[in-house]
Structure 1
């Protein structure tokens, strides 16, 4: 299956777009003749058995099969001006005058293979629309207000199951929320409660919940990824949390956020040294964002450039050595964060002010050059 987040990023940034939806998509795929008998079923009061000729809904591999068919049919159009996620399709154009020709190519391919769309769920020639749960347009990606409304209207949870449901809604928007793990860490003891233990929602929990709602009242607009420009990755670490932010300069030279990420430290990770926690933060961020950064130049920013300090040790700890080896596939450059430029960057540091380490080491180096020295 394609990665939904990268498809959302690829779909954003278009001047005009058309949103399409397959009409009972699964039922448009023929079942192999030898497998038709495997779908036989019988209805009460009917004579004989019935067999599916087209792929029914409910099969375990139905989604993957349909996606594979779409990839085969539109293989030369996907990534150029079209994105296809199962039966959700978007045709976008950077220039308004190109959109009609793009739609013509797409419709000709559909007609050739006998695919049908649901006209009630299609929108043509729009400047913004919903794709995979988010609102996309030329300026970037926005949170669907229906998603935030569901969180705003949620009552304080009264049991563990309701809390899990609430956090599930919040986690769907995690890439929009700076240091989400830090904001929700107060709920961790409640999630670890056993059945016989009492669930107590106190003022501390309510305060954290209110802070999340205030943040989501005005969530940021995430920027679409631009080709040919360097990416900037800001990382931080604290006693219990690691966090990061991927950003990029727009055409006006203003830094805009592409992705927020964070997670709690678990188990032995909480006992790592501050230097190791920062290395872990970089490793986790690069692993999570590998589809964004793998073929691009990335500048790593942190107040303390301790990464080179760790990598230049004659003998690397086993886990740090593993992280260093994994990072060699990326084009990373480190720069000390001495000056903060841009309101978004300042906001990130304010959100993670307790996460920032303050040891200053004036180093500028790439990982590959460090490893070449050993």
Structure 2
């Protein structure tokens, strides 16, 4: 694809704090229907590591590696100045890029997923219960990626490390916990002033629900305030719940 000029960029933020910048203008995206393909939550992806003694490693692949069928290339065409541009490989920012790439990675790594690795779009977490198993599994995953002609982002590779950040969690030998950055986001959260504020806070804390004992009991009062049939009133009761949840996150 030729260099792009004078088109709007958008960003798609990843759970682990990075972001994917869009290289595709909005007018290309608009005609396409959104694929109904649900990405698993970070919590469910790292669940395999909660009760295992494993050394983590990290690999990154990347977009611009999935070829577009010849008959579909014209669907990505757009003008920039006097030039007509079209993509030959799936770009970042296309509304279905995440779903397509995740599905592709699951097919490529299908027999390895859960056994020695997990994948979230273009990020792969590999593990082993010993250095030998760790190295063996790392070699298997790299070989599988190369078999399907995907290129690894070598600069992002991390191996044989004591701790690694992945999808907003810190994963180390026999330990998985929310990253400090995400914990601080909850701790520093202001008292909600609207239903939208409550929804945002519940979403943040629900992401770590397996780390908060009795969370459903804490959230009963907050769920009640989400209802349009209930007058929004933030009282000392809700403030005490908020304080207790913040205290729980601060322990990490």
* TM-score band, normalised by shorter chain: 0.7 to 0.9
| 2:242 counterpart of 1:209 | yes
Unpaired segments ≥5 residues, structure 2: 1-37
Aligned position for 2:223: 188
Any idea what SS the aligned residue of 1:130 has? strand
In structure 2, relative to structure 1, the CA distance for the partners of 1:161 and 1:95 (3 Å cut) is same
Match 1:18 to one of 57, 60, 70: 57
Match 1:88 to one of 99, 118, 123: 123
In structure 2, relative to structure 1, the CA distance for the partners of 1:11 and 1:29 (3 Å cut) is farther
Q: Return the structure number with greater relative CO, CA threshold 8 A, min gap 6.
A: 2
In structure 2, relative to structure 1, the CA distance for the partners of 1:75 and 1:159 (3 Å cut) is closer
In structure 2, relative to structure 1, the CA distance for the partners of 1:42 and 1:154 (3 Å cut) is same
Quote the Cα distance in structure 1 between the aligned partners of 2:227 and 2:87.
46
In structure 2, relative to structure 1, the CA distance for the partners of 1:64 and 1:152 (3 Å cut) is same
Mapping for residues 1-374 of structure 1, pairs under 5 Å: 3-4=40-41, 5-12=43-50, 13-22=52-61, 25-43=62-80, 45-47=81-83, 49-193=84-228, 199-218=232-251
Contact 1:15 1:96 survives alignment (8 Å): no
* TM-score for both structures, normalised by structure 2: 0.74
Shift of 1:183: 0.9
Quote the Cα distance in structure 2 between the aligned partners of 1:36 and 1:144.
40
Shift of 1:148: 1.5
Contact 1:15 1:127 survives alignment (8 Å): no
Contact 1:36 1:51 survives alignment (8 Å): yes
Contact 1:11 1:83 survives alignment (8 Å): no
Quote the Cα distance in structure 1 between the aligned partners of 2:89 and 2:220.
48
User: Which structure has the bigger radius of gyration?
Assistant: 1
In structure 2, relative to structure 1, the CA distance for the partners of 1:30 and 1:181 (3 Å cut) is same
In structure 2, relative to structure 1, the CA distance for the partners of 1:39 and 1:138 (3 Å cut) is same
CA-atom RMSD, angstroms? 2.4
Quote the Cα distance in structure 2 between the aligned partners of 1:81 and 1:170.
29
| Aligned residues between the structures | 213
Quote the Cα distance in structure 1 between the aligned partners of 2:126 and 2:191.
41
Shift of 1:199: 4.1
CA offset digits 1:51-109 (Å, max 9, x no partner):
11000123333222212222332233323312222112011111112222322222223
In structure 2, relative to structure 1, the CA distance for the partners of 1:2 and 1:151 (3 Å cut) is closer
Quote the Cα distance in structure 1 between the aligned partners of 2:168 and 2:177.
10
Aligned position for 1:227: none
Any idea what SS the aligned residue of 1:125 has? coil
CA offset digits 1:303-335 (Å, max 9, x no partner):
xxxxxxxxxxxxxxxxxxxxxxxxxxxxxxxxx
